[in-house]
Structure 1
Amino acid sequence: MSQSPEAPPTGAPNDAAPIKAVPVRHYGRWIAGVIILFLAFIVVRSVVTNDALQWPVVGEYLFDDRILHGLQNTLLLTVLSMVIGIVGGILLAVMRLSPNPLMSGAASVYIWLLRGTPLITQLIIWNFLGLAYSRIGLGIPFGLTFVSWDTNTLITQLTASLLGLGLNEAAYMAEIVRGGIQSVDSGQLEAASALGMSRGKTLRRIVLPQAMRVIIPPTGNETISMLKTTSLVVVIGYFELMQVVRTIYSQNYQTVPLLISAALWYLFMTTVLTIAQYYIERYFARGSSHSRPRQNKWGSRMLGFRLGSGAGEGGGASR
């Protein structure tokens, strides 16, 4: 007499009938993608085939010596202005957070004044400072002057550009640095104080290394913005990229091709800065929850395929 097979316990998975997963069809995404590609094709074709843009003239002036010299001055302004802005921003942020009301008040007034007036106005004021102060000197207040200089000789167009751009940037960087410092847990400051660390050492060794994760992204954005903001010094006649372009097209009347040449150089430089910002952010994000492991294109695709397959077969893949 043969024994009948035991019935499977209630709730056990039935391997004979696998779940058939049907992927969700996102027809709206495909339609939107096709529309975007079609519009992009129309725009690119109109730009490439438009004879009024004079692409041969663009290629002729793109690497012109005058354009490259103006580009060099633009990069010089960007680097030096950001150095002034970052150093000044750190000092202002520390002053703003100081328990001394005079230091905190002075930093607040500076930030209020520089952020509350247009940058182009500040550039013009620095360039024509000699109209208000004919000489600038060092000495005893209300007393003897040891040395003095003619203001127009001391503040050249380059100096006025650096003062206007750098000091204005310091006001914005101060708020960025202050936000980064305040993002650090106050308990770490109390622990450092309990260990006898000075305020300066605590700032250098504990606060700033952690605050950099918050400070770096907006600082990168400010650097990219500064690269384009340097074009405002055209109002005081400094020989940067836009001033060079204006000088050339005022002589040959090739306005559109020269403006396209300048735009291409700005686009190239901002692209390089964006790539550099990405790697710097990833460096300072090491060990944080926002950092992601490096994966190549095919590795990430295979990982997504396996997770999707596991979920489709009733697996317990988590997000």
Structure 2
Amino acid sequence: MKALAYEKAHPLEAFALELREVDEPQLRETDLLIEVRAVGVNPGEASIRQMRSAPPGGRVILGWEFAGVVAKAGNGFAVGDRVMGTGDITRDGCWAERLAVDYRVVTRIPDRLSFTDAASLPIGGLTAWEALFRDRSELPPGVENVLVVGGAGGVGSLGTQLLKAKTSALVISTASRPESREWCTAMGADLVVDHSADVAGQLRTAGVERIDLVLSTKGTAANINWLADVLKPFGHLATTDLASSTDIEPLIQKSISVHTEMVFSSVIADHNLHRQGAVLAELVEHARPIVTTELHGLTVDSMREAHRLAESGRTIGKTVITV
């Protein structure tokens, strides 16, 4: 089969992915074989491309957000079932014609969704769900308002939608450009503030004295002082990008609970995988697609453009490549 692969980690200007012939995926007992029809492209995958090299004589196939068709029956799925899901960061990804994936991180696609639309949901939706709700289906006790930092990105967009669909919380998003502010409002945010300005002052002007929970999807380390400022004592910070070097002293002074999130934790630890499939099934009932850029064909050119957008830091919604 054909797949986009590379050997050595590299920057965007030396983009080295090639469309090459590779072996068919080998199925494990809990795997499905999927014919890939669309893939979502994420900033995290662009970061991995810059850091991960293949072992000697090997190659790397990235991509862990897909929609496609079951090609081999098994594990409760039939040939021809339309499905979407994530995958396993330690295995070959979906930038290929076919993918082996654990059935527990897959769900069926409703007829109303195209493959392209479905591929925009899994990674952002699962990340937002686990960051906000952890292993529950509701927010921590006492949370009445939530601030979503980076509300126009994939995680922020779907986190806002989940909050509005599943909770009664006041949802505040951050965005610094007119088009991203407009997008956050369209996702359901009750209030949008500019994270490049005085966030605490903007919140006070809007009548919000303290935030109960922050979902931070970008810039957590750089923002740590104003995040600590706006959070209430004993509040919650859920973050998808907390660096090991982050100085959390400002949070400690207010006894803030810090919740880190990495969407592949359940897969790597083989912990409660069925829950991820169940979350995806609920996600398609609560969230609408967030495709803003659709590229065509699993080609070097389309993937290079997707990575350029991902690395720009200015992407709204999700970039999807239709295969």
Per the normalisation by structure 1, the TM-score is 0.20
Higher relative contact order (CA 8 A, sep 6+): 1
More helix, by proportion: 1
TM-score, normalised via structure 2 length: 0.20
Larger radius of gyration: 1
Flag the structure with higher strand content. 2
